[in-house]
Amino acid sequence: MEPLFTAIELEQVKAYHAPIYTAAAVDLVLWPLVLIAATRFLTRPFHRLATRWGSRVKVPVLDRVWRGDDWAATVIFALLFFGFFAALTVPIDVWFGFVREHEFGLSRESFGAFLLGGLKQQAIMVLSVSALAFGLFGIARRTTRWWWLVGLAASLVLVVSTALDPYRARLYVDQTSLPEGPLRARLTTMLEGAAIPFGDVLVVHSGEKSVRVQAAFAGTGPTRTILLTDTLLETMTEPEIVAAVAHEAGHVSESRWPGRVLTPLAVFGLLGFVEWLFRRSSKRGWFGITARGDVRVLPILVLSFDLVTSLITPLSAALSRERESAADRFALQLTHDPASLTSLLVKLGRINKVDPDPPRWYVLSGVSHPTILQRVAAIQKNATPPPTSPVKAGTVEQQEPGVTR
Ligand SMILES: [Zn+2]
């Protein structure tokens, strides 16, 4: 195999990644400290401000629903807290998300479009934070059994949310159905052969924003959708696109139990912890809290959530890397075309400027995929010749009816 990058390209890829690693290292150490400082020094002033502003908002209906008139102060406090961090990270987001992406030729987005995307995200943040603050602190002050009610609701929302994934993405990028033709026919035959039902194959028109290529499955059951970026269709050959979809198909056949069991457990664990915080804080009078369901526990909650996430991320990333390797093996079984899977990964690495050997600590701290070199090496090791004479990837599906999920 020819090297992934020429010396000059490699230098550029390394230059692109260096500040990303620095930021990740700083983030790992600094972010918890920023959260601790914010919790310690901002909770009281933000709450005073929220109470003053909230007292001016009068909506009698909501007073009745909430059983009190401090719902506005609660929502404003949550918005101040999350808004503070959003404002803090704006310059960093612009530099990493826009300036450098353009500098290294990865983004094609105008600054206006970038700004609009950011504003959309902020609007969604404001809506969800307001709804969450109103709902969570509103129900918690009514009943001590709130947390299993919310837990059930949240577990349901999580299930529905997975099914809605394909639609949520449309908020940001246009998607159109892949026209009938040889590629679509080939993908359909392959997935039918592997007994993987799906709703549609969509082209994601991300090319006007980014040169990056990507293939993904979104949704589940009848809403399962195959997403292929227009950049992928432009830059890859048909067998390479087939290899990409075969890899994604490998993710479909993964065992779902960890997600289905651990996610609700994590949700209930978190909510149980919130209830404990409510009791503890009112008993001890933290930040002047006198009753259960006070929004001033929010910073402690966010801090705890951040610390737990930092502990879990390396584990879930290790599991994810394991699953990526399995999906590569699944793709090989499905297509018997190691050459196309290899060239897909190599081209993807070049286009997306993927670091061929990222620092070990960075990978361990939370990278979801094995490196491209590791994947290519594994493909070469696992590539078994097809049982009959060499087959072209396009005809393999008919000849391999034995592939099971
Ligand atoms: Zn994958």
Q: What pLDDT tens digit does each residue of the chain (405 aa) get?
A: 567 789 999 999 999 999 999 999 999 889 999 999 999 999 999 999 999 999 999 899 999 888 888 999 999 999 999 999 999 999 999 999 999 999 999 999 999 999 999 999 999 999 999 999 999 899 888 888 888 888 888 888 877 777 777 777 777 789 999 999 999 999 999 999 999 999 999 999 999 999 999 999 988 777 789 999 999 999 999 999 999 999 999 998 787 777 778 888 888 898 899 999 999 999 999 999 998 889 999 999 999 999 999 999 999 999 999 999 999 999 999 999 999 999 999 999 999 999 999 999 999 999 999 999 999 999 999 886 655 544 444 433 333 333 333
251 Cα: distance to centroid of ligand 1 (angstroms)? 7
Scanning 213-337, the segments in alpha helix (DSSP H) are 230-235, 238-252, 257-284, 298-335
Separation between Cα atoms, residue 164 and residue 219, nearest integer Å: 6
Q: What is the predicted pLDDT for the residue at 118?
A: 94
47 Cα: distance to centroid of ligand 1 (angstroms)? 44
Separation between Cα atoms, residue 212 and residue 231, nearest integer Å: 7
254 Cα: distance to centroid of ligand 1 (angstroms)? 11
111 Cα: distance to centroid of ligand 1 (angstroms)? 31
Structural contact between residues 21 and 359, judged by C-beta atoms closer than 8 angstroms = yes
3-state secondary structure of 213: coil
213 Cα: distance to centroid of ligand 1 (angstroms)? 13
330 Cα: distance to centroid of ligand 1 (angstroms)? 11
Start-to-end C-alpha separation, the chain: 31
328 Cα: distance to centroid of ligand 1 (angstroms)? 8
22 Cα: distance to centroid of ligand 1 (angstroms)? 26
Residue 121 in tokens: 């995200």
Separation between Cα atoms, residue 370 and residue 382, nearest integer Å: 15
352 Cα: distance to centroid of ligand 1 (angstroms)? 15
Q: What is the predicted pLDDT for the residue at 306?
A: 92
106 Cα: distance to centroid of ligand 1 (angstroms)? 21
327 Cα: distance to centroid of ligand 1 (angstroms)? 6
154 Cα: distance to centroid of ligand 1 (angstroms)? 27
243 Cα: distance to centroid of ligand 1 (angstroms)? 11
Residues with CB in 5 Å of ion ligand 1: 324, 327
279 Cα: distance to centroid of ligand 1 (angstroms)? 43
Structural contact between residues 246 and 342, judged by C-beta atoms closer than 8 angstroms = no
376 Cα: distance to centroid of ligand 1 (angstroms)? 14
46 Cα: distance to centroid of ligand 1 (angstroms)? 43
Residue 256 in tokens: 């779902």
pTM: 0.85
Q: What is the predicted pLDDT for the residue at 404?
A: 34
Distances (CA, A) of 219 to 183, 204, 252, 333: 21, 15, 10, 24
Beta bridge partners of 237: none
Residue 342 in tokens: 């290899």
Structural contact between residues 242 and 335, judged by C-beta atoms closer than 8 angstroms = yes
Scanning 336-371, the segments in alpha helix (DSSP H) are 338-351, 360-366
371 Cα: distance to centroid of ligand 1 (angstroms)? 12
Q: Which of 85, 63, 65 is nearest to 73 (CA)?
A: 63
3 Cα: distance to centroid of ligand 1 (angstroms)? 22
